[in-house]
Structure 1
Amino acid sequence: MYFLSLAAPAAHGEAAGGAAFPPFDPWHFPSQLFWLAILFGALYLALSRFILPKLGGVIESREDTIADSLDEAARLNEQSKEAKQQQDLALAEARAKARETADKARAKVEAEIAAETAKVDGELAERLAEAESRIQTMRTEAMSNVEQIATNATQAMLGRLGIAVNEAEARQAVARNTQQEG
């Protein structure tokens, strides 16, 4: 505690009317200006010789890195544009090939359908011709039967009326009446 009591008046100045604070005492100004000049000179030398060149190198390195990164980004951007163009070209070629393949498949299917339709039409025409032939045959048979039936009916009706007609005369009469109606 003794040391504290000795240091207290020196730290706070002399008693109430003591000397001023040493940094503000004009008697100390020349030494303070001397040390200020030495300190700023040393600081200037340290900054100009060591710190600022290192900072300049770091800043230059950073600018180079940024410029390289921008150049790389521009190069990659160009590559991506070229890749996109190649992809678009490949996609267009693939679409064209797909369209061509679809057109060929459509043409093939249409040809198969046309061939099958022609085959079916031929079969139907053949069946229709056969059916018409059978119908014509049946019609001819029916007409001959109708003619025979009409001849027999004519003979029978005339026979009831008391007129005797042979088969040839009855057939001629039926033929004349059929021709007049047809």
Structure 2
Amino acid sequence: MPQFDFLSFPSQIFWLVVTFVALYFIISRFAIPRIGDVMEQRQKMIDDDLERATQLKADTDAAIQTYEKALAEARAKAHEVMKGAQDEMSRKAEERNRDVAEKLAQQIAEGETRISKARDEALASIREVATDAAKAVADKVAGVSIADDKAEAAVAAALKETR
């Protein structure tokens, strides 16, 4: 085997050194700078993406705050509108209740007046009926004819006793 031959060692070492130096020169001048450029580009892209993500997050946070503020304002306005509507409905209900109460009071007063008038008419007609009945009973039972003024006086006395 030629690689184990001691006479060929110096030439093998020479070519080994020449190959390593050439390989080192090619890698250090061409490959490493290109790899460095690619890594720098990747790092720059990553940094740009992170910066853009930070900016987007800040924009999103601002939009969320604006949304929450608008939502709170809308809720407050809706609450005010509902409160106003409730107040208006309460006011209208009170007005209706007041109107109904006034109408009922008026109807009650009218009813009491009608009842009083009917009672007075009934009492007046009761006196007439009682007077006629007393005269008829006295005529039928006792066979006595009573004058109208005496029959009315007797009915009035009887009514005073019952009150």
Encode CA deviations 1:60-96: one digit per residue, 9 max, x unaligned.
Answer: 2212221221122122212212211221111111011
Q: % of aligned pairs identical?
A: 37
1:168 — aligned with what? Answer: 149
The higher relative CO (CA closer than 8 Å, separation ≥ 6) is in: 2
Encode CA deviations 1:92-115: one digit per residue, 9 max, x unaligned.
Answer: 110111111111112212222222
Candidates 83, 92, 98, aligned match of 2:72: 92
1:13 — aligned with what? Answer: none
Give the CA RMSD over aligned residues.
1.9
- The yes-or-no answer on 1:179 pairing with 2:160 is yes
CA distance in 2, matches of 1:36, 1:68: 45
Name structure 1 gaps, 5 residues minimum.
Answer: 1-19
Would you tell me which structure has more helix in proportion to its own residues?
A: 2
Name structure 2 gaps, 5 residues minimum.
Answer: none
CA distance in 1, matches of 2:38, 2:153: 134
2:40 — aligned with what? Answer: 60
2:113 — aligned with what? Answer: 133
- The yes-or-no answer on 1:112 pairing with 2:112 is no
Q: What amino acid maps onto 1:149 in structure 2? A: V
**Aligned ranges 1:9-158 → 2 under 5 Å:** 20=1, 22-158=2-138
> How many pairs align?
162
CA distance in 2, matches of 1:34, 1:72: 55
Residue 165 of structure 1 aligns to a residue whose secondary structure is coil
